[in-house]
Each structure stands twice: as C-alpha cells, then as structure tokens.
C-alpha cells in the first residue's frame, strides 16, 4: 500500500532533517573504584564481607534446623519458620547483593556497541529455502497426487476420533443434577450435633444450619448412611437452613402455603449463583446474604432474589412433623438446587410434571 511507512536507510540520507544531531557516545566516566585504590580495596572488603556473612548464615540455618523445636514460637508464630527463613533469605540476599556490587564497582564497565541486523534473513537465503521447499514438494509429488494427499489428510484428521473417544471415561455422563438425598420423611438434623429438631426448639428470628439425617450415624450404627467421599458430594446439594419468622410476615406463593410449620421455613443453603453456602442472616429484614458475591434472597418471600448476580430464587424444602414431633422433609426439593446448568430448564419442567 502506498501509505505504509517503509523502512529506509537513515545513515545514507545526506540532508540533515533531524532537529538535533546525535552527539555520539559520550566519553567513559571513571568510577571512584577505578581511580582510587583505597576505594577499590574497600569495595573488595565489603563484597567479600557479604559473602562471608552469607556463609555464616547458612551454618546458622543448619543450627536452627536441629536446635529449634517445631512448637517453639517467636512473636506468636513458628520460631523455626522464622529462623530458617531469615537465615536462608538473608544469606541469599547477601550473595545477590554482593555479586551485583562486584559487577557494578569492580568489573570492567566499558560500554560496548554491537550492530543490529534486520530480523529477516538475506534475500539469497530466502530464495535458497524456497528452492529447497519447492524441490521437496516436487519430489514428494504432493501436488501431483491429490488422491494420496487428500486421503492422508482424511486419515490424520480422523485421528481426532480416537483422541476424543479416549477421553470419554474422564467422567460419567451428566445425571442426577436435579435431585438431592432429601426424600419424604427424612429428618432435618442440626449440622453440628446431628440431633433432630422439634419446632418448639426454634425461636422467632433464629436460623439453624441443618442437614439430612442420613449424614449422621443412625442409632446403634458406627457409620452414617452417606459417608466419606460421597458425603461431600451429597452435602454440596443437600445442605439447608431452617429459619423461623412470624407467620404474618411470610407471603407464601401459591401452593406453598403448607410448606412451613408455624413460620418455620426451610431453604437450600447452596446459592443458586455459583454454589457458595449462604449463611448471613438478617433477622429484621428476613434477608439471607451470600458471602461470595452478595446475592440477597428474601426468605419471607419464597427465597426471591432481591439483589446480586444470582438469578433463581433459593429452592425451598417443604417441611412436616413426624409422629415423634421432629421436623421432617415432605419431599425432595421441588426446584433445582445449586448453580444453573444448560439442561436446567428441561429438568425443571420434568420435576414440575412429576409433582
């Protein structure tokens, strides 16, 4: 294109165009250590002093390693960590500073000039390479034998098939994203003690972190029904909070009128945004705030999102009371728990159809 700025050889331009001409490299400036032998010797002593102290620090490192017990503290923190780090770090710093000082004060410091060359290779080289490539192409016959060439492309392209298929067993196909371990009749238990909860135990304004009873050993059992690693997976969907509000403050939407017990409601603890457990409860306003990105849900109004990046309301778990007077779930969550996923709309439709 005509308006590109092309490279030009500035040195061959005869007319002076630049406002100020390059005065050229300035004369070398001698350092104090170049001209004054006393300074030179002092620098030498300083630098070797640093190296010697560094060596001593490394010996001290070894001493600290063996002499300091792991439970000794210094300034309220591991004394061993402090001693090892300070000796190692101090020694390394001294070596570094010493070497740099050596280079700055004592090594020859004459500036050198090297010429640059364009990054591109010479025109002859380029031509020679093109000739070689052409010869290679000619002799291979890629151009003349399209059948071979194209079928080779086909087969190499088809290598994608085994490569992708091999990855199939990285994990199972998506399943079960719309269900949790909750089911009708499962007791709601305190998430620390594992004890079931009676409605009378909860005061107005109180919030209890709770979990399904299967996360704790049943009476007389050693292990819980869900334990070890599966527990984490189940917990990441089944964790709940139970709150009690004044019944007159609550505005249940249609069909949810009997999901609570005298103002006791139960919601998923897992944020519908990206899944943080939510627990910041403002009694006065009935708001539940997610600590991760501050989505705020109104628990008196069906878990509606009133602020923040979450889109779906907090799913609510319908509650009931069993024959012994403990709070139980009346079903699994009727809405999908945890962060959204592409098939969510489809799965939710199915859940709605089932209920």
Residues that bind ligand FES (CB under 6 A): 271, 273-276, 290, 292-293, 295, 308-310
Asked if residue 30 lies in contact with residue 40, where contact means CB atoms within 8 angstroms, the answer is no
**Residue 19 in the binding site for other proteins (CB under 8 A):** yes
Least Å distance, CB 226 to ligand FES, is 24
CA dihedral sign, ordered 335, 271, 183, 330: negative
267 vs 326 by CB, closer to ligand FES: 267
Residue 4 binds other proteins, judged by CB under 8 A? yes
Distance CA 54, CA 151 (A): 66
Sheet holding 287-289, edge to edge: 280-282, 287-289, 296-298, 304-307
Least separation in angstroms between residue 154's CB and other proteins is 26
Least distance from other proteins to the Cβ atom of residue 165, Å = 13
Q: Which is nearer to ligand FES, 187 or 273 (CB)?
A: 273
> Minimum CB separation from ligand FES for residue 307, in Å?
10
Report the residue number, 23 or 143, with the smaller CB distance to other proteins.
23
List the x/- string, 27-56, binding to other proteins by CB under 8 A: -------x----------------------
Distance CA 351, CA 332 (A): 10
65 is an interface residue for other proteins by CB under 8 A: yes
Distance (Å, whole) CA 13 – CA 4:
19
**For the chain, first and last CA: distance in Å?**
70
Name which of ligand FES, other proteins, none residue 351 binds, using a CB cut-off of 5 to 8 Å depending on partner kind.
none
Near other proteins in 311-330, by CB under 8 A = 311-312
Window 129 to 158, contacts with other proteins (CB under 8 A): none
Task: Write out the two tokens for 114.
Answer: 């090297």
Q: Say whether residue 353 binds other proteins (CB under 8 A).
A: no
Exposed / middle / buried, residue 327 (Cβ in 10 Å: 0-12, 13-18, 19+): buried
Query: What sign for the dihedral angle of Cα 218, 221, 225, 229?
Result: positive
Which part of the chain contacts other proteins (CB under 8 A), choosing from 181-189, 258-266, 302-310, 326-334?
302-310
C-alpha 45: how far from chain center: 49
Give the β-pairing of 280-282 and 287-289: antiparallel
CB of 239 to ligand FES, least distance (A): 13
Q: Out of 197, 207, 310, 317, which residue is the one contacting other proteins (CB under 8 A)?
A: 310
* Candidate list 49, 136, 146, 174; residue touching other proteins; CB under 8 A: 174
Closest distance between other proteins and the C-beta of residue 246, in Å?
Answer: 26
C-alpha distances (whole Å) from 173 to each of 85, 165, 176, 177, 336 are 48, 13, 10, 11, 18
CB of 289 to ligand FES, least distance (A): 9
- Shortest reach from residue 210's CB to ligand FES, in Å: 19
Antiparallel, parallel or unpaired: β 77-78 and 240-244: unpaired
Please name which of 303, 306, 336, 330 lies closest in space to residue 317, comparing C-alpha atoms.
330
Q: Which is nearer to ligand FES, 74 or 341 (CB)?
A: 341
In the complex, minimum distance from the CB of residue 278 to ligand FES, in angstroms, rounded to a whole number: 6
Distance CA 280, CA 207 (A): 10
- Provide the pairing of β-strand 73-74 with 77-78: antiparallel
Nearest to 299 by CA among 340, 239, 242, 237: 242
Q: Is 281 in the site for other proteins (CB under 8 A)?
A: no
Residue 180 touching other proteins (CB under 8 A): no
Nearer to other proteins, 66 or 219 (CB): 66
| Type and span of the H or E element at 133 | helix 123-140
103 binds other proteins (CB under 8 A): yes
Structure tokens given for 20: 């100020």
- Does position 232 bind other proteins by CB under 8 A? yes
């Amino acid at each position: 294109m005509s308006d590109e700025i092309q490279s030009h050889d500035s040195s061959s331009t005869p007319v002076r165009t630049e406002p100020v001409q390059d005065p050229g490299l300035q004369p070398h400036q001698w350092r104090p250590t170049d001209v004054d032998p006393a300074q030179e010797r002092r620098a030498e002593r300083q630098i070797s002093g640093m190296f010697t102290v560094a060596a001593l620090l490394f010996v001290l490192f070894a001493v600290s390693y063996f002499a300091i017990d792991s439970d000794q503290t210094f300034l309220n923190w591991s004394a061993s960590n402090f001693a090892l780090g300070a000796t190692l770090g101090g020694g390394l710093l001294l070596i570094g500073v010493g070497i740099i000082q050596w280079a700055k004060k004592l090594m020859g410091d004459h500036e050198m000039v090297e010429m640059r060359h364009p990054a591109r290779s010479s025109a002859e080289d380029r031509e020679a390479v093109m000739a070689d490539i052409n010869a290679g192409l000619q002799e291979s016959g890629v151009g003349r034998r399209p059948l071979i060439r194209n079928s080779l492309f086909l087969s190499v392209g088809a290598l994608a098939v085994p490569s992708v298929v091999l990855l199939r067993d990285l994990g199972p196909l998506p399943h079960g994203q719309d269900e949790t371990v909750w089911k009708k009749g499962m007791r709601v238990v305190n998430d620390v003690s594992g004890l079931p909860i009676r409605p009378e135990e909860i005061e107005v304004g109180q919030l209890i972190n709770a979990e399904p009873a299967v996360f704790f050993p049943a009476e007389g059992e050693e292990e819980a029904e869900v334990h070890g690693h599966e527990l984490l997976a189940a917990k990441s969907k089944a964790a709940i909070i139970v709150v009690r509000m004044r019944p007159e403050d609550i505005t249940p939407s249609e069909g949810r009128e009997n999901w609570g017990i005298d103002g006791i409601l139960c919601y998923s603890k897992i944020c519908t945004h990206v899944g943080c457990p939510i627990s910041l409860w403002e009694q006065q306003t009935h708001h539940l705030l997610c600590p991760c990105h501050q989505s705020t849900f109104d628990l008196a109004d069906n878990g509606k999102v009133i602020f923040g990046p979450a889109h779906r309301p907090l799913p609510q778990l319908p509650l009931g009371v069993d024959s012994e007077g403990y709070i139980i779930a009346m079903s699994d969550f009727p809405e999908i728990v945890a962060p959204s996923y592409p098939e969510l709309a489809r799965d939710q439709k199915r859940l709605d159809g089932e209920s």
